[in-house]
């Protein structure tokens, strides 16, 4: 049960890309909602509020990771291209023991993500609707977890990215509509589609960005989802993939590709998108390690290495063009992919700063307030404002001066529930490799 809290002596970074406000007090009621914010000289603390002294640490909105999968821990996926092994693994996962194992692992990843300072997760493709079950467990207070936005299965085509185990397969506009209806029946929050191929299961150089869905298929899926008020996210890793996805009416592009003037215009003014525009979700964390780390370390084949290099270049160009052209940008990590753990969301901000050239202030804005606006959840989270949930992270250092401060939160608050000294189980092997990337 929530308490009334008065967080005092806060240096507040509110998510709006402004400088920190010092000596602030945040009052949070027993419903977990912020109902007063102000300088300590302006606010009188009611007697029934428990005081939490932040001791001049930095308080900011909890991070939002807008692109994760929950099925893996971020270790290399050795079965990605082995059809025989995939068949065996997914047959086992569909047993009672397998489903229980999968759900426990996904729950563990969700808790690690929360304890790392991420208070909202958007899951963009998992198995057997376990993401829906975990969302319902959290919402019914079976355990404390982050805000969870889930897609269930991805939508793909025969032989396409994620097919046949991680996706519902359709090969026509009407089959695509049926897949949307199937996911809706199972309680998803949005729809995820695969417009192009991907790196992890690509079997030929260039397959990662190769078109797999037609514009007619994309349009039918978007129309069906939009009728129900659901946003559509699209896996895209090439210029022509961008064009087809945006013309079809998708709301977010996941990953990205190099843009031309037509594509830039469609992002900013997209009449077929649910809200009249489309946004980019960057996932540099999924591409940079695989591209930069030596194959002797990653043990990936030459096809995967070449596809990684191609896609990484496309993503970087896309991100730079998006910022240059004032396209709406959010971010995710593609957690569960090789070398992308569930506790390293801060690294996506670091990569954007280092490789794209934005400031820490901008990175934090795009990981909080902008992400919330893109996902349509800014009415209750994404910034420190009166009337929003107390989804907060407390840091010893100022992240505007050192973005690595985000890697070690001293407190996480989710819907007004306080987690002191949060801990996650980390992989030293993966972290050491990531630290070697300059």
More confident residue, 38 or 201: 38
What was the pLDDT predicted at 84?
A: 77
Q: What pLDDT does residue 38 have?
A: 95
* Sheet containing strand 154-156, strands side by side: 167-169, 154-156, 191-194, 232-236, 252-255, 279-282, 329-331
Q: Does residue 324 register a pLDDT over 70?
A: yes
The structure tokens listed for 120 are 């909202």
Q: Are 16 and 63 in contact (CB under 8 A)?
A: no
- Start-to-end Cα distance in the chain: 45
State pLDDT tens for residues 386-417. 999 999 999 999 999 999 999 999 999 999 99
Continuous segment of H or E residues that includes residue 150: strand 147-150
Both structure tokens of 89: 């693994």
Question: What confidence score (pLDDT) does residue 208 get?
Answer: 86
Q: Can you say how many angstroms the Cα of residue 401 is from the centroid of all Cα atoms in its chain?
A: 24
Predicted pLDDT at 234: 98
Coil, strand or helix at 324: helix
E strand spans, 220-361: 232-236, 252-255, 279-282, 329-331
Which band of pLDDT confidence, cut at 50, 70 and 90, is reported for residue 91?
confident
Predicted local confidence at residue 81, as pLDDT = 58
Q: What is the pLDDT of residue 160?
A: 93
pTM tops 0.85, yes or no: yes
Domains of the chain, start order:
5-61+383-420 (2.30.40.10), 63-375 (3.20.20.140)
In this prediction, residue 78 has a pLDDT band, given cuts at 50, 70 and 90, of low
The pLDDT tens digits for 256-296 are: 999 999 999 999 999 999 999 999 999 999 999 989 988 88
What Rg do the C-alpha atoms of the chain give, in angstroms?
21
Region 311-335: what's the mean pLDDT? 97
Comparing 212-221, 290-299, 330-339, which segment has the lowest mean pLDDT?
290-299
| Percent of the chain scoring above 70 in pLDDT | 98
Burial call 92-113: b when 16+ CB within 10 Å, e when fewer? ebeeeebbeebbebbbebbbbb
Q: What is the pLDDT of residue 70?
A: 97
What is the arithmetic mean of pLDDT over 347-373? Answer: 97
pLDDT band at residue 428 under the 50/70/90 scheme: very high
Omega before residue 164 within 30° of 0, cis = yes
Report the alpha-carbon distance of residue 65 to residue 113 in Å, rounded: 9
3-state secondary structure of 39: strand
Q: pLDDT for 305-315, tens place per residue?
A: 898 899 999 99
Q: Which tokens sit at 314?
A: 């496309």
Bridge partner list, 36: 27
Closest CA to 112 of 346, 424, 345, 335: 424
Average pLDDT, the chain: 94
| pLDDT bucket at 298, cuts 50 / 70 / 90 | confident
User: What count of other Cβ atoms lies within 10 Å of the Cβ of residue 428?
Assistant: 7
pLDDT of residue 79 exceeding 90, the answer is no
pLDDT over 80 at 370, yes or no = yes
What DSSP string describes 57-119?
-EEEEPEEEEEE--S--SS--TTTT-HHHHHHHHHHHTSHHHHHHHHHHHHHHHHHHHHTTEE
Q: Is the pLDDT of residue 1 over 70?
A: no
């Amino acid at each position: 049960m929530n308490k009334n809290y008065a967080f005092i002596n806060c240096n507040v970074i509110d998510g709006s890309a402004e400088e920190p406000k010092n000596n602030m007090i945040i009052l949070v009621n027993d419903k977990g909602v912020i109902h007063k914010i102000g300088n300590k000289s302006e606010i009188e603390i009611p007697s029934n509020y428990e005081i939490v002294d932040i001791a001049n640490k930095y308080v900011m909105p909890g991070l939002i990771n807008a692109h994760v999968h929950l099925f893996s821990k971020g270790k290399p996926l050795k079965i990605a291209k082995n059809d025989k092994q995939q068949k065996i693994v997914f047959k086992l996962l569909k047993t009672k023991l397998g489903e229980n194992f999968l759900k426990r692992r996904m729950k563990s990843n969700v808790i690690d993500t929360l304890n790392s300072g991420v208070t909202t997760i958007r899951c963009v493709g998992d198995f057997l609707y376990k993401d829906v079950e975990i969302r319902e467990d959290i919402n019914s207070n079976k355990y404390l977890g982050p805000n969870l936005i889930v897609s269930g299965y991805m939508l793909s085509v025969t032989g396409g990215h994620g097919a046949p185990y991680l996706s519902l397969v359709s090969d026509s506009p009407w089959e695509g509509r049926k897949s949307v209806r199937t996911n809706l029946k199972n309680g998803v929050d949005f729809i995820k589609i695969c417009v192009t191929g991907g790196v992890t299961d690509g079997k030929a150089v260039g397959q990662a960005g190769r078109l797999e869905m037609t514009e007619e298929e994309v349009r039918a899926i978007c129309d069906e989802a939009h009728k129900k008020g659901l946003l559509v996210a699209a896996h895209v890793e090439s210029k022509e993939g961008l064009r087809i996805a945006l013309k079809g009416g998708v709301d977010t592009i996941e990953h990205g590709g190099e843009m031309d003037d037509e594509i830039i215009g469609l992002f900013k003014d997209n009449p077929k998108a649910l809200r009249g525009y489309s946004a980019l979700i960057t996932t540099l964390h999924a591409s940079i390690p695989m591209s930069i780390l030596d194959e002797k370390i990653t043990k990936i084949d030459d096809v995967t290495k070449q596809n990684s290099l191609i896609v990484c270049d496309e993503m970087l160009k896309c991100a730079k063009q998006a910022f240059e052209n004032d396209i709406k940008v959010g971010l995710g990590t593609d957690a569960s992919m090789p070398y992308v753990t569930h506790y390293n969301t801060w690294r996506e901000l670091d990569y954007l700063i280092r490789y794209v050239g934005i400031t820490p202030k901008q990175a934090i804005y795009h990981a909080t307030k902008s992400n919330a606006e893109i996902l349509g959840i800014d009415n209750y989270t994404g910034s420190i404002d009166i009337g929003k949930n107390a989804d907060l992270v407390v840091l010893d250092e100022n992240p505007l001066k050192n973005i690595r401060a985000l890697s070690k939160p001293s407190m996480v608050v989710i819907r007004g529930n306080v987690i002191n000294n949060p801990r996650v189980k980390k992989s030293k092997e993966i972290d050491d490799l990531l630290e070697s990337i300059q």
